Amino acid sequence: MNPTALTVHQKSRVLDIAFDDGSSFSISFELLRVYSPSAEVRGHGQGQEVLQLGKRNVGVTALEPVGNYAVQPTFSDGHNTGLFSWDYLYKLGNEQAALWADYLARLHAAGFDGDAGREPGAELPGAVSVHKGCGHAH
């Protein structure tokens, strides 16, 4: 699966991507950010995923090609370690309704009403804010 078009829309905060099989998707920057294929988001193994909070207004400040197989976005919150392969972008686009529902369910399970956890500055209920690192111990 290879892309035939890739457009970043800053105002609406979506990435439009079309593929050579005729499929095309508009993927929100927020969905891209909360499902980033990075260790910060996915953890270092099954069950170590880190729920991403406060990403409703996240932007993409840069989108760099990585070979002929992926792109690496830099998000406005500074996150830039996820490599989005064409296959992964296709999966995000194709499954975005289910992924979005899962994200909202995880926010709800973490104690947020509605989609309150999407707001900038959101913190887990009862969490002590110390510093914002990459999300895992070094």
CB 84 within 8 A of CB 71: yes
pLDDT digits (tens, 9 = 90+) for 15-33: 999 999 999 999 999 999 9
- Alpha helices per DSSP H over 18-85: 29-34, 39-42
How far apart (Å, rounded) are the C-alpha atoms in residues 57 and 25?
20
pTM to 2 decimal places: 0.87
Share the mean pLDDT of the chain.
Answer: 89
How far apart (Å, rounded) are the C-alpha atoms in residues 3 and 24?
9
